[in-house]
């Protein structure tokens, strides 16, 4: 009290305000000086402004295109964009991504701080978002990663081939009757596969609410987490805005509720209690619960990640496949020739068929328009690292720009042209590429998508069957003219898919139609063991299932 009276008497209130302002400006100047000093050591990029960095330079939509442009402008495989006071590094080159994320995977297995997606989204304890900066964090992340690989890794997915094949047969059957609903058929198929894998229950109808609700939730998360200058991602620039209560902060868009936890745990617990299907992922998790001291939120996130991510990405890939067929019909002819020679009309393709062009076709689908267009969530080094003399500080947000990587003219000549032959040795457009797959759709290193093998396996058999069974082409108007399609007309979220479009999907021959019908009926009989229905719905769960929350929430 004495001190405040002294200052007010001898300096006056305006002097105090001026002193505070001077200190604030001085501190801000020191901070900005540090940012500029750090910038001199980082990969090149646009000049950051104080406090806001480059945030307001970000485009309103599809920032990955801007990152690609910056990479060309600065003639650099890595570029730095400042989100507020924090640098983010974007890798726009396949070889740089492989060198950093794959060859140095040991120090790039962590995540940075992600305020919107992690802290206000699905939590830092989720495998997708986990830190690995301390030994304890790294050990817990390894437990989650081990469980996912045991559930859906390369060695595990072969046992899923029978029902993946049968669900794929049903896609073909459904396309015979309602080809205009191809998006719904793909979403049902993808959701049903991961539901069988995860919970031992198939999804029989495209009208099942769990399809539309889960996929809508995935789209919302993908849309909300695009780097940009709008809310909610603007909170990454101004973190103090996240401190406001949600009730008076509309910019938080309902984030921070962790609402998926109870729902997916209830689904898991419901599946665990039902007899049979002991090979399902949730029953495996409950068997290992004591061994790994799994908490309820961990079981929820592990099963929820499988369900949410697998349904949206796989269906979006198949929609891109249809778009490619429509816009590049010349690529279908070699596929038909190969399939007619190896398979014939009396049966559909099987996993053990030798179909090199079809395999190249699938690879080109993954490359041409990858769903996870910026390679999933960002990595962060667990210690300072250097690449070509540039500093990559510990904890820095560093991410692969799959859009730029897959459109590099050096690796993929005429990259927007859909050309499966580029994956065949001897073709003039074939180029070396890091890794045996020839694409980087599923991420890198120890953070590669754990469901990659499951997705690749299912996508291969489904595309092979649809190429064998159907002529997929642009739709004709009543006057005979074709409805033109735009190969760049995609959604703006991090998991992108083509905007809705019309097309024509017809069986190639009557004999093939008969085979599709016969195999579809057989598939329904073989899949009957997975029939069932959950009593839970995401949209009503938290209003109508308080007792279930208490029941499952108290389980140990």
Q: Which residues are annotated as a binding site for heme?
A: 449
Residue 81, H or E segment: strand 78-83
Q: 507 pairs with which residues across the strands? A: 470
> Rounded to an integer, what distance in angstroms lies between the CA atom of residue 20 and that of residue 24?
6
Q: The tokens of 400 are what?
A: 């692969």
Match 């499952």 to its residue by tokens. 552
Can you give the length of the chain in residues? Answer: 556
DSSP 71: H
- In the chain, what is the straight-line distance between the N-terminal and C-terminal CA atoms, in Å? 55
Asked, as a colleague might, if the bond just before 232 is cis with ω within 30 of 0, I would say: yes
Q: The tokens of 248 are what?
A: 């008076």
- Residue 278's Cβ-side half-sphere holds a number of Cα atoms within 13 Å equal to 2
CB 206 within 8 A of CB 173: no
User: Does residue 527 sit in helix, strand or coil?
Assistant: helix
> Rounded to an integer, what distance in angstroms lies between the CA atom of residue 190 and that of residue 200?
14
Taking the CB of residue 495, how many other CB atoms lie within 10 A of it? 22
Annotated binding site: 449
Taking the CB of residue 429, how many other CB atoms lie within 10 A of it? 14
Q: What is the bridge-based pairing of β-strands 78-83 and 86-91?
A: antiparallel
User: Does residue 471 sit in helix, strand or coil?
Assistant: strand
Distances (CA, A) of 543 to 35, 209, 216, 547, 549: 48, 16, 19, 10, 10
Q: The tokens of 480 are what?
A: 């005979």
Match 């592990």 to its residue by tokens. 302
Phi/psi of residue 161, nearest 5 degrees: -60, -40
Helix axis angle for 182-199 and 296-327, nearest 10°, is 150
- Listing DSSP states for 83-118 in one string gives ETTEEEEEE--HHHHIIIIITTGGGS-B----IIII
Match 């938290």 to its residue by tokens. 542
Taking the CB of residue 179, how many other CB atoms lie within 10 A of it? 16
Non-local (6+) Cβ contacts of 449 within 8 A are 309, 372, 376, 442, 443, 455
> Rounded to an integer, what distance in angstroms lies between the CA atom of residue 109 and that of residue 99?
14
């Amino acid at each position: 009290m004495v001190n405040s009276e002294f200052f007010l008497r001898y300096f006056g209130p305006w002097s105090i305000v001026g002193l505070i302002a001077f200190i604030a400006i001085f501190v801000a100047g020191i901070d900005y000086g540090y940012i500029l000093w750090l910038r001199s050591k980082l990969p090149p990029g646009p000049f950051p402004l104080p406090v806001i960095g480059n945030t307001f330079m970000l485009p309103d939509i599809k920032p990955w295109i801007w990152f690609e442009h910056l990479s060309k402008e600065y003639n650099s495989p890595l570029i730095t964009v400042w989100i507020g006071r924090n640098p983010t590094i974007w890798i726009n080159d396949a070889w740089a991504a492989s060198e950093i994320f794959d060859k140095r995977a040991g120090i790039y297995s962590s995540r940075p701080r992600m305020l919107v997606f992690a802290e206000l989204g699905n939590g830092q304890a989720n495998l997708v978002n986990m830190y690995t900066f301390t030994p304890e964090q790294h050990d817990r992340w390894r437990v989650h990663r081990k469980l996912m690989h045991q559930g859906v890794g390369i060695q595990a997915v072969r046992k899923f081939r029978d029902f993946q094949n049968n669900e794929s047969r049903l896609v073909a059957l459904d396309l015979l009757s309602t080809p205009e609903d191809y998006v719904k058929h793909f979403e049902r198929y993808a959701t049903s596969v991961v539901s069988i894998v995860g919970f031992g229950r198939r999804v029989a109808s495209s009208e099942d609410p769990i399809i539309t609700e889960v996929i809508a939730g995935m789209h919302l998360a993908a849309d909300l987490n695009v780097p940009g200058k709008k809310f909610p991602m603007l909170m990454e620039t101004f973190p103090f805005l996240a401190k406001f209560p949600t009730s008076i902060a509309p910019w938080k868009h309902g984030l921070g509720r962790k609402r998926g936890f109870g729902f997916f745990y209830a689904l898991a617990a419901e599946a665990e209690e039902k007899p049979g299907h002991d090979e399902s992922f949730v029953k495996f998790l409950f068997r290992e619960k004591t061994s790994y001291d799994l908490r309820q939120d961990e079981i929820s996130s592990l099963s929820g990640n499988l369900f949410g991510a697998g349904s949206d990405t796989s269906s979006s890939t198949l929609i891109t496949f249809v778009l490619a067929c429509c816009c590049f019909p010349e690529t279908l002819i070699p596929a038909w020739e190969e399939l007619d020679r190896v398979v014939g009309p009396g049966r559909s393709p099987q996993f053990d068929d030798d179909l090199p062009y079809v395999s190249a076709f699938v690879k080109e689908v993954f490359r041409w328009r990858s769903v996870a267009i910026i390679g999933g969530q960002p990595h962060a080094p667990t210690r300072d690292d250097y690449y070509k003399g540039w500093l990559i500080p510990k904890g820095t947000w560093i991410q692969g720009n799959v859009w730029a990587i897959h459109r590099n003219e050096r690796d993929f000549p005429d990259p927007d042209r859909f050309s499966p032959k580029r994956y065949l040795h001897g073709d003039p457009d074939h180029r070396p590429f890091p890794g045996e797959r020839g694409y980087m759709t599923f991420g890198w290193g120890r953070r590669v998508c754990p469901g990659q093998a499951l997705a690749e396996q299912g996508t291969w058999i489904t595309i092979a069957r649809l190429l064998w069974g159907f002529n997929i082409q642009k739709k004709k108007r009543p006057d005979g003219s074709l409805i033109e399609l735009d190969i760049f007309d995609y959604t703006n979220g991090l998991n992108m898919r083509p905007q809705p479009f019309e097309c024509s999907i017809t069986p190639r021959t009557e004999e093939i139609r008969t085979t599709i019908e016969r195999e579809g009926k057989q598939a329904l009989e073989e899949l009957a063991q997975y029939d069932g229905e959950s009593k839970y719905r995401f949209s009503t769960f938290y209003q109508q299932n308080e007792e279930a929350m208490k029941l499952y929430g108290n389980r140990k």
